[in-house]
Structure formats: structure tokens, C-alpha cells
Amino acid sequence: MHYLCICVQNQIDIRTLSKEQLIVQLEQLGEKPFRAKQIYEWLWKKSAHSFEEMTNLSKELREQLNNHFVILPITAYKVQKSNDGTIKSAFQLHDKHLIEGVLIPTEDRATACVSSQVGCSLTCSFCATGFLKRERNLTAAEIYDQVVLINQQSNESIGRNLSNIVFMGMGEPLLNYSNVLGAIEKITSEEGLNMSAKRITVSTAGIAKMIKKLGDDEVKFNLAVSLHAADDAKRDTIMPINEQNNIEVIIEALNYFQTKCKGELTFEYILLDGVNDTIDDAKKLIAICKQLEDVKINVIEYNKIDQADFHKSTIDTRDKFIDYLSKHKVIANVRKSRGKDIDAACGQLANKNK
């Protein structure tokens, strides 16, 4: 894993260092290499946000760390709770940018929906985040912090740890590839939060070359592709990314991914009234699925946003669409929207917090 060292006012952001890089830094301060393991445990297993918390280190070393390094945690800026129990948090970063993350509790799950970028560059026409400017990528630590804070919310609100993590918040994860994988490494490592990679799903709008890179890296987590239309003409109109990453190219990349990785593959498909919800659309979607070894469909109802004039399909249209998929042996599930009353549902994250 490649690490990019970040400095703030001549202090190094210690969580941008690999353990090997940290050993080198500590040796320059006259410290033994084993101190790096202790510090790494405080940072990634115990989620320490200050050097003062590191009580098994001497006072002198903690002062040295304070002089040379900085920890840049994210903080909860605004928290909203939905009528259905969903909790949306606006998190503030060290440079005052805001991102949003969501806790989605159900009877058998507690899912964290996390962001990977400040804003987004892909301009999908049905997604509120797509109307925001992409300011910057999140660091691996900022992604990791979302999981830690949402896990705390889960314990406080429903009395149990997170069961799942989905990278379906703000931004395109595969355009922040190294930091997303770096965060997942810390979340799944025995030296970190020790969560199962099988419980993590990364969602992409379909960056074909990066999907292939996931295959080359033989990732263990699950992959979801935001398809939302089953032919290029329609997908071009609602997802401009399709002009460079059309359906044929995505299918080729996914076939490669499936030869390398064992994680589940899902297509996300928002039903838009009169746009992509006909039986003909269902037939084209089936044809796409038949070109892959094993794929499921998450059918999502459209959640209204101020910036677009789409409408969700009727329940009757939705049911006919799903029934047609099922009759042709394509597994399709309705993903119920949660947190609509606080703009926390799929496609609604837009930083209405300032």
C-alpha cells in the first residue's frame, strides 16, 4: 500500500504514515522501533485522537510526538435522527469541509454509509451530491473516523456494533482508490478494527480501469455498481460517466474482476418513472446480467431532490419490473429508502448543514 505523507504547519499527519515510515521517524527521534507498534495500536485499534491518551508511552515521548506530529480527527458537526431511526451526521474535517455519513439500523443489521470524497465530480443527474463541487479526496484516516464515530452512535442508539459498511455516501470511491483501500485495510486488519471484509461493500458508478485494478489487488470486499440504466443511450443522459465507461466496457471489467475476486457483485438500479422502468428495460437488464457469472440487483426507489425533476416509479410498475426479473432467474431485491425525512436516503446527501 502506498502512503502519501501529509504535513500541517510543519507537523506530519501521523496517520498518513505506514508503520515502516513511522519506525524511521521515531528512530530519527532516538526512539526504539517497538514504539511504532504501540503508537499504531493507539491510532488504529483504540482510535486515539490525541497523544495524551497514549498512557503506556513516557511523558517525554508524548511531548516529542506533539512537537513533530499531528492527529487530524473528524468531528460531529450536526447530527439528525429520522423518524425511522436512521441517523445522519455532518462531519467536519480539519480544514472545515463537511461530509455526511449515515447509520442505518434494522432488526438484524447496523450499517454505516460512509463518504469517500468532499463532494463529487461525476454529476449524476438524480443524485444531490453530484451537484456539489468536488473539493478533495478524504484521507484513509478520515474515512476510518467515520466508521468509528458511526459505530459509537450504533452502540449508543441500539446497543450493538456495526454489522456492515457501505461506501455509498458522498463521492466516487474508485476515484480515491488508495485512500479507500487504505481505510479498508485499517478497518479489517487485526491491528485495526478487525471487521470482516465480507461485511464491506464499495459502490462505484463504473470506473472500468479501477474495477480491473480491484481485481488485480484481489480485494476481499463486495462490489456494487450503480448501473441505473440498461442501455447506453439512457445511461448517457443520467450518468455522464457512461460516455467514457459504457456498459460493454463495464461488463468486460466486471468479468475480469470476477475471475480474481470472490466478493459479491450487485447492480444498483434506481427506478425512475418513464425513464428506465419498462419491461423492455428489464429485458436489457437481464441480458446484461447473463453476461456475468453471478450478480444480484438492488432495486432502489428514487428519492426526490431539489435539483432534478425525476419521479419515482409507481409500486405497480416496480413490482412488475421485479417480477419480470425474477421469472428470468435474476435475483432482485427492493432496497427500502431510510431517512428520507432528514435527506439521508440514497441520492440525497448534499451538505444542507451550513
Sole residue written with cell 469517500: 116
Q: How far apart are CA 232 and CA 237, in angstroms?
A: 9
Element (H, E) at 100: strand 98-105
Q: What is the largest CA-CA distance in the chain?
A: 70
Residue 7 burial (10 A CB sphere; 0-12, 13-18, 19+): exposed
- The residue from 31, 100, 142, 172 that is catalytic is 100
- Set of cell numbers at residue 353: 448543514
All residues at 6 or more sequence positions from 142 whose CB lies less than 8 Å from its CB, including other chains: 72, 74, 93, 99
Q: Is 334 left (phi over 0), alpha (psi -120 to 50) or beta?
A: beta
The angle at the Cα of 305, spanning 303 to 307, to the nearest 5 degrees, equals 150
Q: Cα–Cα–Cα angle for 324, 326, 328, nearest 5°? A: 75
Torsion angles phi and psi, residue 112, rounded to 5: -100, 125
Report the length, in residues, of the chain. 354
User: CA-CA distance, 312 to 271, in Å (whole number)?
Assistant: 6
Answer for the pair 246, 231: CB distance below 8 angstroms, yes or no.
Answer: no
State how far the Cα of 278 lies from the Cα of 21, in Å rounded to an integer. Answer: 55
Cell of 125: 443527474
- Where is 182: in which H helix or E strand? helix 177-188
**CB-facing half-sphere around the CA of 7: CA atoms within 13 A:** 5
Active site includes 100? yes
Catalytic residue among 113, 127, 261, 346: 346
> What SS3 state is found at 59?
helix
Q: Among all residues, which ones are annotated catalytic?
A: 100, 346
